[in-house]
Chain A
Amino acid sequence: MLAIVAGWLLLGVAGLFALHRLRFVARILFPAGGLLGVALLVAAAAALPASPETVVLPIGLPSLPFHFRLDSLSAFFILTIGGAAAGVSAFAAGYFREGEGTPPGLLCLQYHVFLASMVLVVLADDAYAFMVLWETMALSSFFLVTTNHRIAEIRRAGYLYLLIAHIGAIGILLCFGVLQADSGDYTFAGMRAQHLSPFWASMAFLLALFGFGAKAGILPLHVWLPEAHPAAPSPVSALMSGVMLKTAIYGFLRISYDLLDAQIWWWGVLTLAIGLATALFGVVFSAVQVDMKRLLAYSSIENIGLLFAGIGLAILFSAFGMKPMAALALTAALYHVVSHAFFKSLLFVGTGAVLHATSERSLGKLGGLIRYMPWVAWASLIGVLASAGLPPLGGFVSEWLLLQSFLFAPQLPNSYLNMLVPAAAALIALIAALAGYTMVKFFGVIFLGQPREEKLSQAHDAGGWERIGMVWLAAGSVLLGLLPVQVIRLIDPVTQQLVQAGLGSVAGQSNWLLVPVAVERASYGPAIFFSGVALGSVLAFAFVKALYHGKTRRSAPWDCGYPWQTPRMQDTAEGFGQPIRQIFEPLFRMRRELPRANDLAPKYRVTVEDHFWHWLYEPVAVVVEHAARVIGRLQQGRIAVYLLYSFLTLIGMLIWVTV
């Protein structure tokens, strides 16, 4: 495992020696990185059921070596990283071009350091190594986000990302401080041995929720996602959204399930509530976006919310000792981790291909691309269906498992929770349906209809490497959808490790039927399901063909007989979002400019913003700026004054020492 990571780092260093040789970097180094990703996937799958291995590497400070440990939980996340990275690397081989800010060789170094640090974060077994690698991950991704650093907006987005990543890192650092419980032992093994009082355990949990939540993008720390994702090059957005957010999920699971020895029920309620709020917020905002990458960024916020909701439910169940149900909810969350990694990476690289072919990111200027870019369109369709949570693809399995676990909530021994938790299931259903709305808008506006701009008819399809990457990711999404039993057998060791229960034994009874509890209770067989729909369609086709003549004629579109149609008469992205804007109006901060009846040059403009910017971030920014100005007065620029400060500090410390 470490050898593969070292291989990634070597590829990065090799890129440094070929700073401007794009051909070499793109044709040799990135595909090699992709192959290492596949190797990592295989190695992690093999390591999943094995017992934990530890290794101590003498790097870093003399008395503080790096501890690494490979157990089922880390192996599962490494599997996710490897699988998604393989596809994204293959796509990146065809994606990066000359003249995009950072030279290709340096980009290759940053990219592979980013990949390696994500794997190592997941492997880290002491707080020191974890924090160092966590920061490496944040910094390398910051440089990747600001690849086009000549554009001011991109620098601004990168800065915002770095800021929130560091606020989160402070939370994580403090959390480790609480977890070591005054023992001075910062290894995870030492933390596991500690027994914290409920108060300190809750403190550690809240700090972890805050710290990892900032990285994952839960409410109200989500603001960096819609800024950073559009700014970054598409393969980088794919990795950040599909994979990097998952390292935060990993950290949260590691602390709340592994390092803290018991759970308190209100942690679960809190996580569930925050998760649901985040998911609803994300999906509603994603439905009104007009920039395709911002739309996907908000959709990532939604998916992170669903993950936190699943984990919250699992914590709730395990706090009441209902282990099989906790395992069910946790399996749903982990399933969503890997399926989201595949379909969101796929959608992001799809937008990358569209961006290269058209140099447009705004939905209002795209359209009809299915005729010019069929590969990208059909691959994206798979991602869209998976993201909308439709059977028989990957997104539906996790949604199905999550809803099944919500149906066990009435068995909770607390009567208030009994009542509230099923209401949460209603919200999940609403969120899933809204995700479908958003995804139809995404796919329909970009790929269907008429081109909204003249130049779109010159759009070219993705190249060979890009196709390989997209087909890999699409195949992953399809297999995750069709073979849930096999995937759940992989997840089983992880839930066994975390909650000492798993679905493997029940789910493993049949290869084609996913049975989480008992066949009378619920079952789902996606492969047969898919064959059923396919058989129905094919038989319908065959019968119509056999019994009737089946002639087809081409002519102008009908559209109720109106012949003078232009592309501008299609629904726009704004128009498609209009019902959502109307129904969920209180959630938005909206400004509208409507034309008057006698305007000669009528203008219609609507801007939709986040309440959090206005009510949370701007006041904080004002306070910080004010404080900085007050403290700035200390900086006089005269040496005498600074000497005075030193003198006063010295006096103060002497007094403190003597008293």
Chain B
Amino acid sequence: MSLSSVACQVLEIVAALALAPLLSGWVNQCRAWLQNKSAPSLLQPYRALHKLFNKDSVLADRASSMLRASPYIVFGCMVLACAIIPTLSTELPLSAVADGIALVGLFALARVFISLAAMDVGTAFGTLGARREMLIGFLAEPALLMVLFTASLVSQSTSLTTIVETLAQRDLAIYPSLALAAVAFTIVSLAENARVPVDNPATHLELTMIHEALILEYSGRHLGLLEWAASLKLYAYSAIGLALFFPWGVARAASPFALLLALPVLVLKLAIVGFLLALLETLSAKMRIFRVPEFLATAFLLAVMAMLTRILLGS
């Protein structure tokens, strides 16, 4: 473990922390444009975070320490997730600590804690949100794992850095297995990041909300941390998608010049991803919660088919 790779690791985490709210702001801005609304400023998420951190945190009188500890744990999980996904460079010392399977486990850990925190106060909406979040989770998690398995069958490795290095070296062509996996991954990330058509982050419509119901009892700095963690999650999912399906442009070495090149490439790729996400959200309508299992089961089946395609056809 050299000094430069540690520097890479730190840079990667700092980039995630700084760029994640920007990505959320960019998605909101694109969506507003596409829907003929006047867009909020690109920096609005930072202002919102600053405002939330400055406010008092109002906790329910019967809340236990589960409610207070969970935002920090969830935030810690998301930071580690962003640290192990190669976005700028593949020289990441922390990447050896957790591979693709552990990454899925990390997201599951965050989900379990946020759901338990939602059940802590014992309100009607909190428990409802927890149930729905776990429902989406148990369908999306295996699908995500199968997507990662497809990529690891291609690269003979579950380590994320090896996957990126192998995939980036291949010729530019459409591989059927990866194409199927990409569709499955898109569905999974829409569901996991509480986006239309599964959930709508913009509303408080009581009967349809999932993510908002989970964090209903939070305010002040706790809510701020959770919002930041949510944007880190969106950033992490975008980074996984880019790592698996557009791995070009990630620096192979820890040299300053390569990193200097990788950063604008990353920002450009994230901008495109954010615009596509806003477009998807604008074009589709929110579906009933009972239809969500079918939607996610489709993703699961597509991911399994992607894996079988890889094994049987080798493509």
Contact = CB atoms under 8 A, between A and B. Distances in A.
Interface of A: 367-368, 370-371, 385, 388-391, 396, 399-400, 403-404, 407, 410, 418-419, 422-423, 425-426, 429-430, 432-434, 436-437, 439-441, 443-445, 448-450, 513, 519-525, 528-529, 532-538, 540-541, 544, 547-560, 562, 565, 567, 569-571, 575-576, 578-579, 582-583
Given A440-B115, A524-B97, A557-B60, 8 more contacts: A370-B66, A391-B106, A403-B101, A436-B134, A448-B119, A521-B156, A523-B159, A570-B124
A548 B122 contact: no
Contacts of B145: 403, 429
Contacts of A513: 96-97
Given A385-B112, A521-B157, A536-B76, A559 B94 contact: no
The majority secondary structure among interface residues of chain B is helix
A433 B97 contact: no
Interface stretch (B77-85, B244-252, B255-263): B77-85
Nearest to B225: A540
Residue among A367, A426, A429, A525 with max Cβ neighbours from chain B (10 Å) = A429
B98 to A, nearest CB: 5
Contacts of B146: 425-426, 429
B101 A434 contact: no
Interface of B: 53-54, 56-64, 66, 72-73, 75-80, 83, 94, 96-99, 101-102, 105-106, 108-109, 111-112, 115-116, 119-128, 130-131, 134-135, 137-139, 141-142, 145-146, 149, 152-153, 156-159, 162, 204, 206, 216-217, 219-221, 224-225, 290, 293, 300, 303-304, 307-308, 311-312
B168 to A, nearest CB: 15
A12 B130 CA distance: 47
A440 B122 contact: no
B131 A575 contact: yes
Contacts of B221: 544, 548, 550
Nearest to B138: A433
Contact of A544 (B121, B122, B134, B225): B225
13 contacts: A370-B66, A407-B149, A425-B146, A426-B303, A436-B134, A444-B119, A448-B120, A522-B99, A523-B159, A532-B94, A532-B97, A535-B76, A541-B72
A638 to B, nearest CB: 65
B99 A444 contact: no
Given A532-B83, A533-B76, A525 B98 contact: yes
A61 B58 CA distance: 75
Contact of B116 (A443, A547, A551): A443
B59 A552 contact: yes
Given A554-B61, A555-B61, A440 B76 contact: no
B105 A389 contact: yes
B56 A552 contact: yes
A202 to B, nearest CB: 29
Contacts of B225: 540, 544
Contacts of B115: 440, 444
Contacts of A569: 123-124
Contact of A391 (B58, B102, B304): B102
Nearest to A434: B138
B53 A548 contact: yes
B109 to A, nearest CB: 5
A557 B57 contact: no
Residue among B60, B138, B146, B162 with max Cβ neighbours from chain A (10 Å) = B138
A544 B312 CA distance: 52
User: Which 8 A/B pairs are nearest by Cβ-Cβ distance?
Assistant: A449-B122, A536-B76, A571-B127, A537-B76, A429-B142, A450-B122, A444-B119, A557-B60
A560 B216 contact: yes
Nearest to A401: B101
Contacts of B303: 426
A521 to B, nearest CB: 5
Given A521-B158, A524-B99, A556-B60, A440 B112 contact: yes
